[in-house]
Structure formats: C-alpha cells, structure tokens
Structure 1
Amino acid sequence: MLRELLRVLGLWSGRRGWLIGGAVMAALAALAGVALLALAGRGVSEGLLHSALTAGAVGSLLLLRPLILVRPLFRYAERLATHAATFRALADTRIWFFSRLAERLPAGLGLRGAGDLLGRIVSDVEALDGLYLRALVPGAAAIAVVLAMTVLLGAADPALVTVVALPLGVALILPPLLAPAAGRAAARVADAQGQLRAAAVDPLLGLEDTLAANAEGRVTDRLMRSGELLSRKQKYLARRAAWSGASGLALTQLGLLGALGYGLAGGQGAVAGAVLGLFLALAAAEVLAAVPRAGTALAAASAGARRLFEAADTPPPMAEPAEPAPAPPGHALRIEGLRFAWAPDRPPVFEGLDLDLPEGGRLALLGPSGAGKSSLAALLLKLAAPQEGRITLGGIDIANMAGNTVRSRIACLTQDARLFDDSIAANLRLAAPEASDDALWQALGRAGVAEVVQALPEGLSTRCGEGGARFSGGQGRRIALARALLSPAPVLILDEPAAGLDVAAEQAFLQTLEEATQGRSVILITHRLLGVERPTRILRLAGGRAMPAMG
C-alpha cells in the first residue's frame, strides 16, 4: 500500500510547489482557528478569575478582530490551492497513464473489457484525489494544530497536555492503523466496480450482437449480480469509514472531557487552564474529526493506484533501445529470416519469412484469413517484436530505432480505421497536427471525398459521430484515407482497406487508392485483387512464408 502511494507522489513531483502550498495554506487556516479560540479562551478565563475585564482580557479580545478576517482568507486560499494542485496532479496522472497504455495496447492489457479500462482511467484516477485532499492536507493541518496545542497548553499547565492534547494526538495515528484493513476492503470495492462497468459497457459496445442473440435477459442478470456484489463491498467499506469517524469524534470529545475534568478537580486555580483547554479542544475538533477517515481515503487511493499500475506496468510488446538510431535517409524495407508468434504457447505466424520492398515499390500481399497479413503490418510498425530475424528500414534494423521514428516513416490504413466523435478537421489532423485547412482539403480531394465534405453546412467542422456514424462506410473509409495521405511517411501499408464495402464501392475505393498513393512505397494487404490495382510485385503468404503468386 505504501509503495503505491509513494509512487503516486512521485508522479506528482512536477506539481510539488502547488501540493506543498496547499498543505501550508491548510495548516495556516487551522492555526488561525486555534489562535482565534485561544485568544477567546484567554479573555474568558481572565474575566472569570477577576470578575472584570482586565487589560489582558481586553487585549485578547481586540486581537480577535483581525483573526476573524484573516481566517476566512486562509480558508479561501486553501481551497484554491488544494483544488488547483489536485486538478493538475490528476491531469498529469491521466496523461501518464494514457501514454503507458499507448505503448502497451498492441500486446493487450489483459483487462476484462472496455468498461474495466474506462473505470481505471476515470474512477481509479479520481480516487487518487483522496490521497491529497482527504489525507495529506487534513493530516498536515492536524499535525500543526496538535503541535500548537501542545505548546500553548504546556505553557499554561503541563498537566493539561496529558488530559487534552494526548487524546487528540492519538487521533493522528488512527489513519495508518486503520488503513491496511480499509485498503483490503477498498481493493475489493475497486474490483467490483470494474466488474460492474464491464458488465454494463461491453454489451453496449456490441449491442447489435446482444439483441440478435436475445441476450438482454442474461446481460441484465449479470449486471444485477455485479451491482449487488458492489453494493455489499461498498457497505462493508462504509461501515469501516463510519467506525473510523466515530473513533475520531470520541477522541476529540475525550479531549473536551479532559479539560472539564481538569477544571473541576483542580479548583479555582485550574479554571483558567481548563477554559483554555476547552477552547483549544473545540478548535481542534473541526480539524481532527475528519482525520480518522483519512485511513479510508488512503485505502481508496491505494486501491485505485494498484489498478492503474497493474495496467501501466504491463511489459510493452517491444522494448525501446537505450540509444535509438536516427532515422535513415532511405526507406527501402527488407525482412530477413523472420520468425514470429504472438505467444510462446501459440503456433508461429511466420517461419523464415523473407521479403523486399524497394523505394517506390508497390507490393500486393495476398492470403486468406489467419495467414499473417495483419501480423506483418504490426511487425513493420514496430507494434510487435519478432523472435528471430530482423526488419530493416533504409538499411537500419528497426529494433535499433525508436518506435515513433519507425512510424514516422511507415503509415498504415487498416480496415478498422476509426473516425472519432470530433470534427473532420480534428480527425484529419491526427496525422498532421500542424496541417493547414488547404492541406486538409487537398488530402480530401485526393481521397475523392472533398465534394461530400464541401456540401456539408459546417464543412471541416462537421462532427463525424461515434465511429464515423455520420457517414456511410465508403465515405468514412475515404476520410480515413485522407488522414493517412496527410502523413509524410514515404511507406504506406494498406491492410484490407476496402473490406466491408460492396463490390462497386470497393473497386472505386481501390482505384482512388491507386491514384492517391503514387510516389510512395505501398504494401497492399488483401484477400484478392480486383484488377484495378497496379502492383509491381505480387506475393502470397502461406505456411509462414511469402511466395510468388501463381496466376
């Protein structure tokens, strides 16, 4: 648990100034409250002892005025600083987590489904705010309050420290004592939340298949079971939080009773100290009452961090070299003696594969499903690593190059090329963030879809809808082609780019591809050729090798 939380704080090191500043402001606000009631207590005790307002009492009461104004300012500054720190830290965490996922997705994350992944990047990251807002910040304020009370009570009467400050000090050590058991309960809640999200989101992603199989009842039953499981785990965690809160409240009340008991047992001479102890205990109650609940917050943050790191620490499919080679001047591709399997317990996809693509070459790679066509695309893009052999780009082994360098020279258009629920312009600029509108229109024109976009009322600002639902299959595929054409990569992989289209649309799309990709090296991966393609070489994948196509 401690290891995960320390690692989270390490991720937040870039926001150290904000985090420390927020904790300092929380401590100052708490100390202002202590000073306010300490002065009030002194004024009251002076009045009780002398049955009149003495100079000391009047001075104490006069000092209350500025503190009454200062304390709300500290509170306001604390809220601003702590929430600004939290929002920035969580944003950094999400960016870090997304970057780690992007490196590891080609190998699979081993998660239960899209719903579980969504929970990790949203809810589990949000749970981390408890580490700072509900644990570290209250803890810093509570420590400052207990230390200040110890000093003030010790100066008035050392005996008061034992009966008033000691119970409040015990409240400070409750979170680390309660956190381990709460952490196990919070981990079970986090896992149950992941199951519930998977049960809800995954059937929705495949809603057509769910409805076609009449599986609504089974999906509903699974959702209900997941919800009931989560409810049981949450109730148990809530009970632990309630007991923690009750423990903190009891300890603060014990401090108040200690001050009262001290005053009653000590006679007239102890009244001043007892009154001061009462007022200070009241000042501490607001801060310390929430501290035991910090154990639950630490537990929830630890559970969220564990799930994040579980996904983020999945080994990447291909390790980056310690000292990456620079991008080569040329872009000829060569595959030599390649052996590859997706897992040790699975049969190899390639056994001794050899292949050449000279600069400007146009290779058609044929084969049935399962022959390894898409696996080859993943290898060329450095999204997977061969067990034997090598792939060179411009004469340099891509194993010695950074993945982003390889993918800056090799672009890919797949049959599953996705349009995101954003504007057409934003979708296109995924390939070229700095591209001008003129460049976007030019790419759309080369892809044969510029007239369609021009006819839309919002033009390039038109939203594509989820998965490109705003457009037909052929139109969406052409917009995805325009995005690929915007990339300056000299090598273009076309992995079943026209799959799913009817024959006429497929022929028209492949004709557009043939014209739009002139001047680049092209690998066309497909089941069959329709006759509109103009490859310079045709190979067929079979038995893990590439052989010249017959007839």
Structure 2
Amino acid sequence: MRSRTEHRHHTGRREHVFAPVLTILSIWRLRAPLLTAGCILSLLALLCGLLLTREAGIRVAGMAMGGIVITVAALRVLGVARVGLRYVERLVTHDAMFRALADVRVWFFRHLARGAAAGLGFRRAGDLLSRLVSDVETLDGLYLRIIVPLAGAVMVLPFLFLAINLVNSPLAIVIAVLFAIGAFVMPVCAAVLARRDGGLVNHQAAQLRIGVLDMVTGLREIRTFGAEGRMLANVTARDEALFRAQMRQSRALALAGGASYLCGQLAVVIVLAAALGIGGMGPLAPLPAAGVLFLTVAAFESIGGLTRAGALAGNVTRAAERVVGVDDNVRHAAPQGSAPAPAGTDIRFENITFRWSEDRVPVFDGLSLDIPAGSRVAVLGPSGAGKSTLAALLLKVVAPDSGRVLLGGEDIAGISDDALRQRMAWLSQATHLFEDTIRNNLLLGRPDASDDDLWVALDRARVGDLVRDMPEGLDTWLGEGGASVSGGQGRRIALARTLLSHAPILILDEPATGLDAETEQDFLRTLNEVTQGRTVILIAHRLTGVEQLDRIWRISGGHAVAVAR
C-alpha cells in the first residue's frame, strides 16, 4: 500500500511538472507544421554532417595510404547539402519560434485580461514584467535548444550503432552506451539540478526586478524621505542573492557538463584502442577505423549542447509554470455563452454565493438585489465588503459559486461576453490612461468614433475646453499614466472615453478616488448630468451628498441591505 501511495505521489509530481509544458505545446499547435518542418530540416542537416565527416575521415586515411576511396564530387554534394539545409533550417526554426512565442504572449495577455476588469490578477508590476518578458523568452529554448537537439540525439544513436556495428559489434555497443550516457543521462541529471536551483534563480530574478521597479517608480518618495541608501541597499542585497543562486546552479551544471564531455573523450580513446587492438575489440582495418573515429567525434560533438539543454529544461519548466500560472489568478472561470443580449436592462442578483478561495470567508452568502432599468443606485460598504466583486460578477469576469445574475430576465451565463459588454460601460477607481494621444485613448472606448463624437464626449465630461487649449488638441500626447494632465483632468478624459460607449448600463467603481473634496463633488455633479437615461450603478465607500440616486444598497455580512434615504 505504501509503495502504491508513493508511486501515485511521484506520478502526480511528474504530471504537475510537465502539465505547464504541455499547456505551452498546446498553445503552439497552430505552428505544428512549421515547427515540424524545422525539426526535419535540422535532422537532415545533422545526417549530412555525420556522413560528410565519416566519409572525409575515410578519404583522409585512404590518401595517407596512397589510395582514393571516395570521389571529391560526393564530398561536395554532402558539404553543399549540409550548408544549404543548415541555412534553411535556421530560417524555418527561428521563424517558427518567433511566431510561437507571439502566440504565448497573446495567450498570456488574454488570460491576464480576464481578471483585469475586476482588479484581479497580478498585484506587482515587477513580477508581471518578469513573466511576460523573461519567462516567455526562456520558452524559446523548449524548441530550439531542447526538442530539436533531443530529436537529433534520438536519430544519431541508432545511426551511430548501426554504422559502427558494420565494423565491430562490441565496439558499437560500448560507444552507443557512452553516447546514451552523454546524450540522455547527463542532461537528465542537469535538468534535475537546474529545476532544483532554477526556481530559486527565477524567484531571485523576479525579486530583483520588483525591487528595481519599486525604486524607479517611487524615486520621488525616496528622495523626499531621504531613503536612497536604504533602497539601494535593498536592491544590492537582492542582486547578491541572485548572484549566489546563479553560482550555485552554475557549479552543479558544470559537473554534469564535464561528465558528458568525458564520455565523448572516453569514446575516442576506446576507438583508438580498438584500432590498435588494445582491449580485446580489435584490431580494426585502417579505413574503417578512420571512419569510426571521425563518426564518433562528430556524433559526440552533435550532443555537446544537450547537457546545457538539460539545464535549460529545468528553467523552462519553471518558466512555463509561471507563464501558465496567470490562469490561477481567476478561480471562478465564467462560462462562455453564445446568446445575444436581451433588449431589457433590468438587473437582478439572485441568491448569490461567492468566495475567492476555499480558505477565505464568503464574500457573498445568499445576496439578492434588484436594479430596475434606468434607475440610479449606489452600492456602499467598507473595503473588502465585496463592492468590486459585485461589478466582477455583473461584467462576467467571474462566475458565482451558486445563484444567478440576470439581465433582462436572462442568466448572463448564457450570454456571449461581447454581447454582454456592449450593454455595459465601466469606469473604475484605477482607470488607466495610456502613453498615447488623447484621441487614441478615447478611441479605446469606440474605435469607429469620429472627431465630432470625441469632442461631444469631451464636452459632456467638461474637459473639451482644456483639450482645445492644448497646442495639438486631440493629438496631444498624454504621457505615461496620463502624466501630462492633473488627476481630475485625467479622470474626466477617462469619463469621456466611457461616455463614447452607447451602453445603457454604467458601472462606476469608486470613480472619484484620489480627488480632493471639491474636485470630487464637481466630478460627481458632471456624472449626474451626463448619465441621465442610463442605468447607473455607483460603487463607493461613502456618499458626498451631491449624487442623484433612486436607491442605496449597503453590502454587509455577505448580504445587500437597502438603506432608507
């Protein structure tokens, strides 16, 4: 019983290790023909190289003995074929890999975006950057440095054995065993070592990026509080931790690489000994001996990078885990509906139960509330009460554990995401302005909008005159995060982007966060004017007194409680 339990445990661990890699391979399935073609071209180039080296060795030996064993034309054919195949193989494999990595980035972004609308996903920009850049780039080694070289080793092993077996069977067995150790055993050892240490290296690299990003983005606060020395010491400590992890990994991998190299050198020594009749496996005839010697050298040279590939395999599996891990940030995947959105816009949360994870208390426990079409409601509550979770459920970013969210009397689970979000517009507490022009920031809300539409939206958000006074008008560059405008001005530009949508339902999640009291009230008055005729769901900690509302709900204890006005 114990051995069966241990077997299941180890099997589960192996499945866990390879599952992210299999996910990456499934993302690459559309590139399978191109990837396969590159691998075949690589094998043909390798085969030509082996034949060329073997026959060249026989020719050199024959010339030394005063005879010609193979024509120059044959060598030229093999040489030209090898060069041509290698050139085309590089073009095809690298093109395939660039396309495959682009597919991974698109997949990563799409799965990240599933949680972004509700403020979910990554909380640390440095970690996100590390996954999106470093970890995705590491995955190119899965094909170029692992799959293709490994396929070559699998082809070379039987070819090497059969070629030497024609000369001497015992020698063929010994060389094949040494080749298998160098090509497969040592890389596996390197992979185990790299996986053991590679996780620490990746973690320390991510920590360093986080520290550097924190220092750069918080430079103003650091200077204000005189904390330059402390922040620099923190980054330096993280850099040293990364260096120690890398050195530990490098020492272990150097041992595995050295062992693989010794296998190749030992194989050459054994072939020379057999040629001289030492060790009971010879003597060999001069011409076959030369061919075996040259072939052995070429075969072991072809696997020279496999130990490094084994080391890379450990890093690749870790990188694959981190990339695929973006899916772990959204526990409740919403079903993919296909029905069109109904004409009605009445909203009903019906006996909703929801929790973000099993080890956390429920956010909602039987929550129910109605929002009639065209009404203006506020949803109040302290941080963590579930106000933004309510928006996430309505936007179908996540699905409830139980209960239903109805739109126009229909369960939104069956409505397609695109159709549902055409009925809703969202303005969040962390609305982002992109490092682009005002025009392009606005067009995010409605790509087909004309300049007249943009100006109407800006005027309704009471920021049109400001944009007109700018030297380049709509083509004014906003800078990173809208750095060229104030917080209130940036929030109004974001409001104009939301107003461009014809959605009949507006979800306003803490839209005035970060504004001073006067600017907040002025902004909310603008909202009162420009949202007439639409269903408005205002999510807030508190009310300022200027809101025009039909009903107020307070989230408390996982339920929605109506508040008397």
**CA shift for structure 1 position 301:** 0.4
CA distance in 2, matches of 1:352, 1:11: 39
Answer yes or no: is the 8 Å Cα contact 2:508–2:536 preserved in 1: yes
Deviations 1:213-257 (A, max 9, x none): 554444333333322222121111111222232223222222322
Query: What is the CA–CA distance in structure 1 between the aligned matches of 2:391 and 2:291, rounded to whole Å?
Result: 76
TM-score (norm: length of structure 2): 0.85
Query: Alignment partner for residue 173 of structure 1, among 170, 177, 184?
Result: 184
For residue 42 of structure 1, what is the aligned residue in structure 2?
A: 58
1:424 pairs with one of 428, 433, 438? 438
Per-residue CA deviations over 1:142-176 (Å, capped at 9, x if unaligned) read 33333333333333444552454542233222223
Partner residue of 1:64? 75
Cα contact 1:339–1:389 (8 A) shared by 2 = yes
Q: Distance in 1 between matches of 2:126 and 2:366?
A: 40
Q: Distance in 2 between matches of 1:362 and 1:460?
A: 32
Which residue of 499, 522, 532 maps to 1:518? 532
Distance in 2 of aligned mates of 1:324 and 1:211: 54
Q: Decide which of 94, 115, 122 is 2:105's aligned counterpart.
A: 94
The residue identity in structure 1 corresponding to 2:184 is I
In 2 relative to 1, CA 264–439 (structure 1 residues): closer, same or farther, beyond 3 Å? farther
* Aligned partner (choices 266, 274, 283) of residue 254 of structure 1: 266
**Does the CA-based 8 Å contact 1:351-1:545 persist in structure 2?**
no
Does the Cα contact within 8 Å between 1:318 and 1:382 map onto a contact in 2? no
Partner residue in 2 for 1:189: 201
TM-aligned CA deviation for residue 472 of structure 1: 1.6
Q: Equivalents in 1 of 2:304, 2:264: separation in Å?
A: 7
1:541 is matched with: 554
**Distance in 1 of aligned mates of 2:287 and 2:362:** 85
Distance 1:523 1:169, change over 3 A: closer
Residue 9 in structure 1 maps to residue 22 in structure 2: no
Displacement after TM superposition at 1:209 (Å): 4.9
Deviation digits for residues 450-471 of structure 1 (CA, Å, limit 9, x no counterpart): 4443444544444322211121
Q: Could you say which residue in structure 1 is the equivalent of 2:242?
A: 230
**Contact kept in structure 2, 1:252 and 1:288, CA below 8 Å:** no
Structure 2 match to 1:299: 314
Contact 1:256–1:277, Cα closer than 8 Å, also in 2:
no
Which of 75, 97, 116 is matched with 2:127 structurally?
Answer: 116
Aligned to 2:39: 23
Give the aligned residue type for 2:79: I
Alignment partners' CA distance in 1, 2:246 and 2:179: 29
Mapped partners of 2:21, 2:372: distance in 1 = 52
Instruction: Tell me the CA shift for residue 19 of structure 1.
Output: 1.5
Distance 1:438 1:137, change over 3 A: farther
The answer as to whether partners of 1:320 and 1:403 remain within 8 angstroms in 2 is no
Structure 2: gaps of 5 or more residues: 1-16
Shift in alpha-carbon separation, 1:441–1:155, aligned structure 2, 3 A: farther
Partner SS state of residue 265, structure 1: coil
Give secondary structure in 1 for the equivalent of 2:294. Answer: helix
Does the Cα contact within 8 Å between 1:149 and 1:280 map onto a contact in 2? Answer: yes
TM value normalised by structure 1: 0.86
Amino acid at match of 2:484: R
Deviation at 1:491, TM superposition (A): 0.3
Aligned mates of 1:297, 1:170 — CA distance in 2: 18
Tell me the distance in 2 between the aligned counterparts of 1:146 and 1:369: 63
Deviation at 1:210, TM superposition (A): 4.8
Native 8 Å contact 1:337 1:354 kept in 2: yes
2:298 counterpart (279, 283, 289): 283
Change (3 A) 1:4 1:180: farther
- Report SS of the residue matched to 2:345: coil
Shift of 1:345: 7.0
Structure 1 runs not aligned, ≥5 long: none
Would the aligned equivalents of 1:186 and 1:237 in 2 still touch at CA under 8 Å?
yes
* CA separation of 1:273 and 1:95: change in aligned 2, threshold 3 A: same
Q: Is contact 2:334–2:397 with CA below 8 Å preserved after alignment?
A: no
When residues 394 and 464 of structure 1 are mapped into structure 2, their CA distance, relative to the original with a 3 A threshold, is same
CA RMSD of aligned residues (A): 3.2
**2:146 counterpart letter in structure 1:** A
Q: Measured at CA, do residues 421 and 22 of structure 1 come closer, stay the same or move farther in structure 2, by a change above 3 Å?
A: same
Deviations 1:249-285 (A, max 9, x none): 2222223222322222288862111111222123224
Q: CA deviation at 1:360?
A: 2.6
1:56-455 map, 5 Å: 56-57=69-70, 59=71, 61-105=72-116, 106=118, 108-109=120-121, 113-162=124-173, 164-174=175-185, 175-211=187-223, 214-265=226-277, 270-314=285-329, 316-321=330-335, 325-336=339-350, 355-364=369-378, 373-383=387-397, 390-455=404-469
